Structure 1
Amino acid sequence: MEEDGGARLEAEDIEEVIELGDNSSGDLNGVGGDLDELDIEEGAQVDEADVQDNADVIFSKHTDAVFCVRVDPATCARAVTGGQDNRAMVWDVSSANTLFECTGHTDSVTSVGFSHDGVYLATADMSGLIKVWEVSSWKEVWAFHCSDIEWLEWHPMAHVLLVGTSDGDTWMWKIPSGDCKTFQGHGSTVGCGRFLPDGKRACTGHADGTVKVWDLRTTTCLHSVTGHDGHTADVVAMDCHHDNTIVVTGSADSTAKLTNTETGKVLATFQCGKPASLETDCVETVGFSQTQPLVATGSLSGSLCVWDVPTQVLRHTCPHEAGIVKLRWDSATSMIYTASLDRVLRLWDARTGNIVSQWTGHQGEILDFDIARDGGVLVSTSEDQTARVFSLHELDR
């Protein structure tokens, strides 16, 4: 898959393409093959009393479970966390000193994020309240209240915010003006969504298994994948390939699917969980490698699967002691980071299926993590009411 360089937009062209304002409302030829599974030695789960804390810094200002975290992409020096204590806080990753508290939330803060350039910070809670803050002054510059928010994402090149809601609608705002467009849903919760790398389209996944591709300029639904080829249960995870033409979705129906965003055709279906005769196994997290033609899926049964995209063959299965809540590919190598409900963060080599490193210290289930853009630190959050910072400088990549 070659990257379509002409499809990407310069930052100054984004506003013209999206035109925010008031409004009313390549195929893969899979050949199959034998599964190449490689088990690793178990033993990652240890007694709580024996847990070694590898964290360099611990942020402990939350008073309940910490649901989400994002590292500022501009500075890589600060993080924002949101928790069940109705609080969102910005803090220094080297010292754990609190820099700012995002006040005004009255319900659990479940989504946070910095804009691509670190100019703005968005926080959202379960009641449907979204707030945006200007980072340089820590002033609130915009707020909005909608139905229950499932997720938020910033545009990769512009100050544009995308939000999915439980009532099935997707909202897009220009920040800080608040100019708005809505993508009318069909009543099914929007469980996940992403801007495509071209900056001109977005993709959403819904609770009834539907996957939709949207045009940002017109708010038109370009493709709606449903029925026989679509998922049969909640779509909970999504990632877009950097060439703009393929999206991978993970679902509670135990499968992940590759879909062509240009044609709406499902290119491949990966059986990631348990056999159909047994209980279903939610595919909780998915991601494309940026350096190899590989895609990874992580399930609540604890299976990290690495798939070859051109042939659709399973390369490796990497077992965990408990469910995988999130995976992230290293941006420059064939390594995959995973966070598991067994309280362990791991790094895997996708070429061999072997574990490279692991980090412990959390006393509760890990709920989220983020990696600084410069690759220097990993920041994780947990039910243990803390966020932990782990240095990645010693890794041999």
Structure 2
Amino acid sequence: MSYELKHVFASLPQMERGVAKVLGGDPKGNNFLYTNGKSVIIRNINNPAIADIYTEHPHQVTVAKYAPSGFYIASGDVSGKIRIWDTTQKEHLLKYEYQPFGGKIKDIAWTEDSKRIACVGEGREKFGAVFLWDTGSSVGEISGHSKVINSVDIKQTRPYRLISGSDDNCGAFFEGPPFKFKFSIADHSRFVNCVRFSPDGNRFCTAGADGQIFLYDGKTGEKICALGGAKAHEGGVYAVSWSPDSSQLISASGDKTVKLWDVGTSTALTTFNMGADVMDQQLGCLWQKDHLLSVSLSGYINYLDKSNPDRPLRTIKGHSKSIQSLTVHKNGGRSYIYSGSHDGHINILSLGGGHNNDFSGKGHSNLVTKMAVDDADQLVTCSMDDTVRFTSVTKKEYSASNLVKMDVQPKHVSVAAGGLALAVCIGQVVFLKDKKKVFTLDSLDYEPEAGAIHPGGSTAAVGGADGKVRLYSVQGNTLKDEGKSVEAKGPVTDMAYSKDGAYLAVTDEKKVVTVFTVADNYSVRSLSYPSDVNFAKTSLINVSFRIRCPEYAHRLHHVSGLAWIDEHTLVTTSHDASVKQWTLKF
């Protein structure tokens, strides 16, 4: 058997309220990049479904920037490490690694010749450093600030200049190399979140939590004006990005807008209204050739439309938090992947075009632990918010009337024909019919962990922490315990009947998969003992085939979900918030 990684459906940026998100742009204009967890994600700007993930940082990555040459990327993490790695090879070989200071890296800038790097952040003894990319030797000192430095940029034309912005409400202007502090800029009344030079080097701007954006002369640092007069935005400004010709810039704000500015007149040409919800706050932006991008607090990436400022050209959706559950469903001849994450978000991925979507309305408010699609084309999900939801996959809209409140937290849900569902909760097993609770098993002498209803609706199998699988007879609206059980090799973690109902597969904490033959009184058909610790789940491709997930399918985390599209196509999810599609050959 051989396997090939066919597609990577990448995670969104990992966002934090009130914290700017830096987007990096490929100098050639083909890609953009951002960070999530320990990963740096590179996406094609014309087709964001094309993505690559760099996973070699041992700690959470906070920022990544292309070298002006385009051949290398410098990425920084929360420990203060800077890794410089190759962009031309699939392996992204490490060129150099440095630790300029101890603490979170918040921003990175290169000189135009790709020879010097400036980085700033939350250092202990110092908040920034400038060094040669190939030796790590210092080429100046970033001083003049008393608090965390949030942003840094270097003029891309000679003579070089450097600007920084800090939580001390000030900017600092440097000449070099070697870079030396010249003076502070104290025009902001609150944190300075972002500083950026124009591509031609003639100007730079500073943006702050006070809603102000100031323009300065790029060579002397002399103040020119404030964009928009008294205030550029009603909320804090988290990011700015210049147009390639240096005549305009865009700004992203917590007031849920992005503004397009004419620098010559210091007026806003367009205001992009991104929504009314708190998750519509704009925390990052990037002007890349003809593309204007912004990032919402939700992690959604918006392609802005100058001719229609109230509706983006497209919005890239997905997950920004770890994915916990997965299922697939065919609708209208197309396969859809449904995945649920730690924050309660459910994403819909169309496998044909790689487009992400979501359900409208208010859904789960906490981790989605399990999901399945029933014969009425409803996505049945259970969550740590103590609910089971039934959501139409055709209407794609949450409904309060299709929510069933559980007495205790549900951990697992399964479905069968005729509107049947089984929810396994802490200390309880709940039998549902037509979206209503009809029977509850409680006061159990074991802790139920997972459950499965036979496709024919005749039996409900419940796996316990004691390693037993109890088989309950479905009789009308009740579950009857007839004292029948089978043994797994350890505490049960997951289970499912095959589609034809001929087999029951049970996984346990010892990473053993036991397959029982239903017609033969649940006799053990086979066992699978995975040999490596990276094993996550086993799934039946047919009645006799067993397969382990490809080794290191998701390098940073174990596989949290696995589902078959067809006998040669497998999808996997992980806590890295990405979905991967594999092609298998036998």
TM over 0.5: yes
Task: State yes or no: 1:313 paired with 2:223.
Answer: yes
Structure 2 unaligned blocks of 5 or more = 1-6, 310-586
Q: Structure 1, residues 302-324: CA drift from partner, whole Å, max 9, x if none?
A: 01112234362342353121100
Q: CA deviation at 1:225?
A: 2.5
1:160 to 50, 69, 72: 72
1:369 to 285, 289, 309: 285
Residue of structure 1 equivalent to 2:153: 239
Please report the TM-score for the alignment, with normalisation by the length of structure 2: 0.43
SS in 2 for 1:348: strand
Amino acid aligned to 2:142: V
Residue 99 of structure 2 corresponds to: 184
Q: Distance in 1 between matches of 2:81 and 2:140?
A: 16
Give yes or no for the alignment of 1:124 onto 2:35: yes
Shift of 1:211: 2.8
Q: Where do 1:130-279 residues align within 5 Å?
A: 130=40, 143-175=55-87, 176=89, 177=91, 178-208=93-123, 210-226=127-143, 230-244=144-158, 245-274=160-189
Closer/same/farther in 2, CA of residues 285 and 102 from structure 1, 3 Å limit: same
Residue 380 of structure 1 pairs with residue 294 of structure 2: yes
More off after superposition, 106-115 vs 323-332: 106-115
**1:256-314 Cα shifts (integer Å, max 9, x gaps):** 1121231321123211322xxxxxx1101112233573221110010111223436234
Paired amino acid for 1:129: S
Aligned residues of 2:208 and 2:237 also touching (Cα < 8 A): yes
Higher relative contact order (CA 8 A, sep 6+): 1
- Matches of 2:187 and 2:169 in 1, distance apart? 6
Q: In 2 relative to 1, CA 184–331 (structure 1 residues): closer, same or farther, beyond 3 Å?
A: same
Q: Which ranges in structure 1 are unaligned for 5 or more consecutive residues?
A: 1-98, 275-280
The aligned counterpart of 2:210 is 301
Change (3 A) 1:384 1:189: closer
List per-residue Cα deviations over 1:96-137 (Å, max 9, x = no partner): xxx85127x9977977656444777766322x2346689999
Partner of 1:224: helix, strand, or coil? coil
Q: Which amino acid aligns with 1:203?
A: A
Q: Do structure 1's residue 392 and structure 2's residue 392 form an aligned pair? A: no
Identical positions, percent: 15
- 2:256 is matched with 343
Query: What's the offset of the Cα at 1:141?
Result: 7.8
Contact preservation (8 Å) 2:68, 2:110 = yes
Equivalent pairs counted in the alignment come to: 284
My pick for the range that moved more, 318-327 or 261-270, is 261-270
Larger Rg: 2
Give the distance between the partners of 2:281 and 2:80, measured in 1 at CA: 29
Instruction: Call closer, same or farther: CA 1:198–1:379 in 2, change over 3 Å.
Output: same
Which secondary structure state, in structure 2, belongs to the residue aligned with residue 223 of structure 1? coil
Paired letter, 1:290: P
Tell me the amino acid that sits aligned with residue 152 of structure 2: M
RMSD: 3.4
How far did residue 337 of structure 1 move? 1.5
Distance, in Å, in 1 between the alignment partners of 2:193 and 2:51 is 35
Distance 1:132 1:296, change over 3 A: closer
SS in 1 for 2:304: strand
Note the alpha carbon deviations across 1:197-233, whole angstroms, 9 max, x for none. 111111111324533211112121222223xxx2111
Q: Evaluate the alpha carbon distance shift between residue 321 and residue 141 of structure 1 in structure 2; reply closer, same or farther with a 3 A threshold.
A: closer
1:196 partner letter: T
- The one-letter code of the counterpart of 2:35 is A
Q: Which range moves more in the overlay, 194-203 or 384-393?
A: 384-393
Report if aligned partners of 2:14, 2:35 keep a CA contact under 8 Å in 1. no
User: Which structure: greater strand fraction?
Assistant: 2
Closer/same/farther in 2, CA of residues 180 and 267 from structure 1, 3 Å limit = same
